[in-house]
Structure 1
């Protein structure tokens, strides 16, 4: 059979790449992708779009947020159902595309009594058309609206399988008859004479059975048969006949939309040649002038000290190695009773010595990049794409290959990317934001790695002839006291707190649910902040607070980061000529460029190995550990529709992000919704992995750039959900909900999601703690507030608060 050449219309959904993967893998299809609002066709007459369609064998109209009754939400999908006969070609509509098809031929759309997002149910059918040779079909649904053809709602009626007088041209093929609250929900349709088909469910979801994905084969079989029949009628292959110059259409549009197609030369030639394109995200744009210079490879020197007889107190080791009041880098795998809390992800702790280290910063507030990575300080206007380019260039120029292969980090850039920086990568307008850094990385050339499983300490350096460092670090390790510092110092002051108000948070949950019911999102990860402040006269040090946090809530992705501008260390008193006001301003600027992060995150966002193996570990679903609650109890509490649906939606979203870079056929779900135990909670965790292909132009940095902000902190579809959350929350999240970790000179990387974290900008002098949870239509608003409060409580005791009741809330 002919290899299909398909067009995919992307309605800004967060699952689109999974559908494209299915088309490429199951049909061996070549696929070109354009957005539903592609500028090349949105502002031209239909003749241009028609000419373009003649290059394809068929079209898939994808899912997306919105309402099929809204032409803005449909875009080009709405043009498919009324094509002239000479242009008509087979179309498969999925979810939004399915609903649009039904409405185009007399159907209606309405809200479900209870939306169905991330729910897996059995689909009933009669083994006809799309469902030929399919038996039991379990399918994942993501929809708030449903299409109606005018049928009696009685699910036992044989009329459910017949066309109605309202829609005589549409034949029902499948229904969900399992939902008594909603009644029969239409799941599959076909047109009586035109090659138009549609399914409401998502065949690409990881929880849809293989039988559910078989409809792709059945659709293409019927589409191909229709195409052959049409070609025989007119004796001319319409796919190879162009009646208009499509290049002129492109020239007449305002501009080509580079993001709208996976091919950089979609209109490169008017000929019948089938181009093999993939649904991948373009690689980070590199600075070719800098990338072209000869690389200066780094050589890794290292030494190992056996500590099997005495476990290492990582915090004390950091404190003894450097002045933590200036800059400090600690990425810690938390321990309990001498053992790592999660050996699978938390085996190593990393201490980076970063005195006068080169760094790069970027603020989304003023779009200024400040960098000393080249050896000199420079500031210039830029964007997140420029940040990724600079990071890629710097890491390529400092590539190392000779470190200890057992260790994940040999040296490299360590730092964070804020939530707002992630918003910029998906073109979401941000709330009012200050000019503080949203990206900040420092270069670690000297490091100490603690292996908590083998109980060994590795001292590393990327500097030449660094014997002095090895001697200093080695002596520090050997002389280190085995007793950790006391954490509960007498008189630790009780801070003041500005906390979320329950009624206000509940109202925001209800607003989220109204958007979900309207079809704008499948789930929304709502968050809020607590602001904690200590009296200046008795303020505990940040490191003391971190020691409390790491003991009370040890986590596989703990972190103590104190970043400070090394080039602003001048005389804080100022010159005699400076006024007091100027001096105060100078001090404020210096403090504003210092940040401290105390993290006890349980969640890996993304890691990639030096061989290109990428891993995401999203967490969705939380149960508090209470006396008497066993793991079996937690599994029962988490194995319910609400919790599983939350997790499933993020798994499918991450598969989409990963498919977009590593390509079709290279993504696997290694664990799906398994329960993991942490210090204070049980959580539902999935593991998604992908493999960067050898010889590919893509790197782990491309995967990171394509995946921000973290889907577990946004909801799905990501772009529309982030737009809604920005409006509902009304303030910047900052470092919370971003990512924190490192780029390794060996080629790997590892980043956690910034949750269970407190951070402080020095000029503010207060600690900010974000927390939240995924809101779905199944959420209880009060329970959502309680979940947010539970997550917040993991940080509050470390700041001197036992609970909110000890201080009240605003």
Structure 2
């Protein structure tokens, strides 16, 4: 590589969900390099070609689709034919290799057996990019297409291959162009399960590029104003100066009283605070089983600040003493929230308590999809629902229960709230004295349940697999909705949403459960999956815990049997793909400091065995602390919708899923949680859950009519699904979906 100055490397992203992993690997291989990342359609090739001489090398990343389709590869197909005066060394990965090959005469074919998230031994002769790399090194493959170079040997040379035996035979895994400085691999050197030789291959490419620059005696064009104006935005890793700095104000203590002797459950505390005495808004984030620890209960009042937003709107609604429409013409929902939160960061509380006060609520799937620049296929102006896509309330008064120590912390952000704290403490003392058990009441109704159509779902699984075989995605999380109608308040409290939540908690206790009443929306969740948590600065840490792989517990399903099932190539592949996707999301926000702390650990829950991985990241030491106040919120924005609920690559998978599914997902597949005034946050994925909207909107000419279903029925919606891979059995996928679904349906006492 041209080393007369700091190496500059251009990475071409074909809308993949692993690109930042590859960028991090490149910087690990060449720590002094400066990286720039652009999309494959960001610049017309005529314009991009003028900037190629600024760079020491180009990395062509992976992506969905086929090298035969111009919309999938964009400018990549033209890179392999540049004139000699702007020629630079290029390294391709996956789609990059396929594009290099077909542009020089190779034939593109489908694999007989798809390799998505599968580890293979890579054979090679130890030459070129494989110099000093052990033979039969292990690498992860994500491809359903491959190349046959039989008719292209005049220009291309095979460097590596995988022997798939009876499945696919010999498959090209590495190539070089015989006359130009082009190299490529079919596998993914950046995957978490590719061995340490992934970085060695990148280092070898950089060494070959350096030799090429020396042999040609060419030099790069010095970086100038034109390059700065056009490409500086693409520098990576990059964190801008904090956009919203707080004023230098004195920190105020959070008013806190800790009670350590009451031994009350979260449901007892919620009832002491009046959850079942009215229909007013209420929030409970409930750690109902291990590994969850803290329960957070918000004590809301009529003047609590509320933020609601519908995806695509040019305004949000801020409610306190009245509803105010706030224009977003010069900003967006996420930036406005980030700015708004800086007005509340002057409190400091007990560092042992994870939540001092702040925003609590949900962000649904459709808002997350909108952030990917995907259209909302199942929504138009006439079908817009009353319930917002983002629904958050600012909690000033809270009660936090530590399930490990039994401590109950009563907190307020109000300056002089001793009277309220005393009232709550007395109410909790009375509850402990009376020793109420807060057991749920059995429902006295027969619900009307509309399950998904079995044959339709199985057919959609098969159609999803066709997309996978064609290279459009590696994994698709296909879902369907169940509708349950129950009589409204037919027997008083026993049919209320709170009683439903208590039954759900009893039949399916979960570490990230939640009960929310916010406006017209009620959510009862028994989620086992933490999506994203982030600690307070300084020394901030961000953690994601994706779940992929589920086995129902039973008398004949021991831990050893569950482990045997969950350690299959299919289940490991499902989890691996999401781990790599999440690593990409995290790298995109914090830079290089990302680690997979646990890979495919098996955790025991009340009714299920689940396979869980843990990925953590930390901001670089150069990131200002005040910027870190918004870091977790930025990560939430950049990582939604949860990869475990979409598949990978994320954007293409979401687009496909909207064609395969008949309805909006709404709260299902979204997230629920909090953003604390100290900069911490914790969000779970809305799965194993049910929700309802008390109001519905129906089109009537040019107007919208609101109906309440005659005040006779509540209609609850339950989402469920599973990750479809090339190895999936369609019938087994239906059965797994029903297992997950019925863990919630049981709460309705059918």
TM-score by length of 2: 0.91
* Partner SS for 2:415: coil
Q: C-alpha deviations, 1:679-736, integer Å up to 9, x for none?
A: 1110100000001234343511111111000000000000000000011103210000
Q: C-alpha deviations, 1:232-270, integer Å up to 9, x for none?
A: xxxx5254499xx9579x8xxxxx7xxxx6x33x7xxxx
Contact 1:523 1:715 in 2 (8 A): yes
Q: Does residue 336 of structure 2 align to residue 361 of structure 1?
A: no
Residue aligning to 2:454: 502
Contact 1:281 1:660 in 2 (8 A): no
* Partner SS for 1:731: coil
Q: 1:212 aligns with which of 167, 174, 198?
A: 198
Q: Please give the residue correspondences for 1:410-559 in structure 2 after superposition, counting only pairs within 5 Å.
A: 410-433=356-379, 434-435=384-385, 436-480=387-431, 481-489=434-442, 492-536=444-488, 538=490, 540-559=495-514
Residue aligning to 1:371: 318
Q: Please give the residue correspondences for 1:272-671 in structure 2 after superposition, counting only pairs within 5 Å.
A: 277-280=235-238, 286=243, 298-307=252-261, 311-322=263-274, 323-334=277-288, 341-343=289-291, 346-356=292-302, 357-364=304-311, 366-372=313-319, 377-382=323-328, 386-433=332-379, 434-435=384-385, 436-480=387-431, 481-489=434-442, 492-536=444-488, 538=490, 540-564=495-519, 594-611=520-537, 612-664=540-592, 666-671=593-598
Residue aligning to 1:782: 731
Distance 2:330 2:439 in 1: 42
How far has the Cα of 1:179 moved from its partner? 3.9
* Partner SS for 1:217: helix
Distance 1:557 1:281 in 2: 31
Residue aligning to 2:699: none
Q: Does residue 647 of structure 2 align to residue 715 of structure 1?
A: yes
Contact 2:479 2:720 in 1 (8 A): yes
How far has the Cα of 1:11 moved from its partner? 0.3
Residue aligning to 2:705: none
Q: 2:160 aligns with which of 152, 170, 174?
A: 174
Distance 1:452 1:537 in 2: 32
Change (3 A) 1:238 1:317: closer
* Partner SS for 1:123: strand
Aligned Cα RMSD in Å?
A: 2.1
Distance 1:493 1:295 in 2: 56
Contact 1:5 1:31 in 2 (8 A): yes
Contact 2:307 2:393 in 1 (8 A): yes
Contact 2:476 2:646 in 1 (8 A): yes
Distance 1:662 1:471 in 2: 42
Distance 1:358 1:420 in 2: 23
Q: 2:175 aligns with which of 189, 194, 202?
A: 189
How far has the Cα of 1:383 moved from its partner? 8.3
How far has the Cα of 1:766 moved from its partner? 0.6
* Partner SS for 1:546: helix
Residue aligning to 1:674: 601
Distance 2:641 2:239 in 1: 15
Distance 1:20 1:692 in 2: 16
Which has the larger strand fraction? 2
What is the count of residue pairs matched by the alignment? 708
Q: Please give the residue correspondences for 1:679-690 in structure 2 after superposition, counting only pairs within 5 Å.
A: 679-690=606-617
* Partner SS for 2:375: coil
* Partner SS for 1:560: strand
Residue aligning to 1:75: 74
Q: Please give the residue correspondences for 1:25-104 in structure 2 after superposition, counting only pairs within 5 Å.
A: 25-28=28-31, 29-38=33-42, 40-42=43-45, 46=46, 48-104=47-103
* Partner SS for 1:750: strand
Residue aligning to 1:253: none
Residue aligning to 1:10: 13
* Partner SS for 1:113: strand
Change (3 A) 1:394 1:527: same
Unaligned runs of 5+ in 2: 697-713
How far has the Cα of 1:387 moved from its partner? 1.9
Residue aligning to 2:148: 148
Q: 2:744 aligns with which of 795, 799, 804?
A: 795
* Partner SS for 1:214: helix
How far has the Cα of 1:629 moved from its partner? 1.5
* Partner SS for 1:797: helix
Q: C-alpha deviations, 1:448-470, integer Å up to 9, x for none?
A: 11111111111111111111111
> 468-477 vs 199-208, which deviates more?
468-477
* Partner SS for 2:84: coil
* Partner SS for 2:669: coil
How far has the Cα of 1:512 moved from its partner? 0.6
How far has the Cα of 1:380 moved from its partner? 3.9
Residue aligning to 1:567: none
* Partner SS for 2:101: helix
How far has the Cα of 1:296 moved from its partner? 8.2
Distance 1:96 1:81 in 2: 13
TM-score by length of 1: 0.84
Distance 2:223 2:351 in 1: 57
How far has the Cα of 1:313 moved from its partner? 2.3
Unaligned runs of 5+ in 1: 151-164, 251-255, 267-276, 335-340, 565-593, 802-810
Distance 1:311 1:325 in 2: 27
Q: C-alpha deviations, 1:337-356, integer Å up to 9, x for none?
A: xxxx214xx11111101112
Contact 1:384 1:421 in 2 (8 A): no
Residue aligning to 2:695: 763
Distance 1:476 1:167 in 2: 82
Contact 1:296 1:398 in 2 (8 A): no
Q: C-alpha deviations, 1:212-231, integer Å up to 9, x for none?
A: 33100111111110011111
Contact 1:296 1:399 in 2 (8 A): no
Distance 1:379 1:647 in 2: 42
Residue aligning to 1:739: 671
How far has the Cα of 1:401 moved from its partner? 4.6
Distance 1:467 1:638 in 2: 52
Change (3 A) 1:529 1:296: farther
Residue aligning to 2:26: 23
Change (3 A) 1:370 1:507: same
Contact 1:447 1:460 in 2 (8 A): yes
Distance 1:205 1:498 in 2: 41
Q: Does residue 185 of structure 2 align to residue 199 of structure 1?
A: yes
Q: C-alpha deviations, 1:169-224, integer Å up to 9, x for none?
A: 11100001134211111000001121000000000000000013310011111111
